[in-house]
Amino acid sequence: MNESAAGSQTRMVQVRQNVLKHNDLIARVLREKFCGAGVFVVSLVSSPGAGKTAFLEKLLGMLRERGMRVAALVGDLATENDAVRLARSGAPVKQIITGTVCHLEAQMVEDAISRAEWQLAELDVLFIENVGNLVCPASYDLGEALRMVLLSVTEGEDKPLKYPSIFNTADVAVVTKMDLAAAAGCDVGLLTRNIHQVRPGMEVIETSARTHAGLEKIAELLARRRTLVK
């Protein structure tokens, strides 16, 4: 027992609760729902302008051509611009407008899915494009099976060292805009070493939405990881 300033008795109670336990609980329910429906859920995180939307637009188109049933949720602070761009691929897309919130939370994903009225069992892969932000999304589980962190060659090789948490919570790193690597003077070897310094052993895939380079490898990765989950 301690004496507080007011003179009343105080005691310590041990609690041990995750601060984000409400988010984690919703994420757990979502994950079970996704597994039950047999849909592989992939989230995409990156800084603003790294090329998530361009990458995803091309990837959705390619996967659809191969007969895969894909859909996407896309988060932004404002505007439906990204949803409009992604919808050009022909895939079902739903925008999540977060307002002032700089990241997606599990509740927003749950709400968007119910608003979209998608039959999850009729999807093979569902992508969730997070708000462009390398800090906040690291803390929030969205129920995804795979978290992809994207990084463009124009951002500087030391980005992973500046944002270790997001790279450390990701499962796969995707280097984007490889067609600009030479022009930007990007040392992709150094970039990859920096990724491995904050997340040893993480798979790194080099891509270009413009030339479609590396998209085949992404398709292979999705097929491989999906089998692992099933």
Partner 1 sequence: MHELSIAMALLEVAGEEAQRHGSARVVAIHARVGPLSGVMAEALTGAYELAREGTAFEGCRLVVEQTDITGKCTTCDAVRGVVAAQDLRCAACGEVIREILTGRELELTAMEVES
Footprint of partner 1 (CB under 8 A):
2, 4, 8-23, 101-103, 105, 135-139, 161, 164-166, 168-169, 197-201
> How many Å apart are CA 102 and CA 99, to the nearest integer?
8
CB of 141 to partner 1, least distance (A): 11
CB of 2 to partner 1, least distance (A): 7
Helix H or strand E encompassing 76:
strand 70-76
> How many Å apart are CA 145 and CA 125, to the nearest integer?
10
CB of 33 to partner 1, least distance (A): 22
Nearer to partner 1 among residue 89 and residue 133 (C-beta): 133
Furthest C-alpha separation in the chain:
73
Between 52-65 and 215-229, two packed helices, what is the crossing angle to 10 degrees? 70
Nearer to partner 1 among residue 16 and residue 230 (C-beta): 16
CB of 101 to partner 1, least distance (A): 7
Tell me which residue of 106, 111, 112 sits closest to 28, measured CA to CA: 106
Nearer to partner 1 among residue 38 and residue 164 (C-beta): 164
- Which residues share a beta bridge with 94? 73
CB of 204 to partner 1, least distance (A): 15
Angle, alpha carbons 78-206-167 (nearest 5°): 60
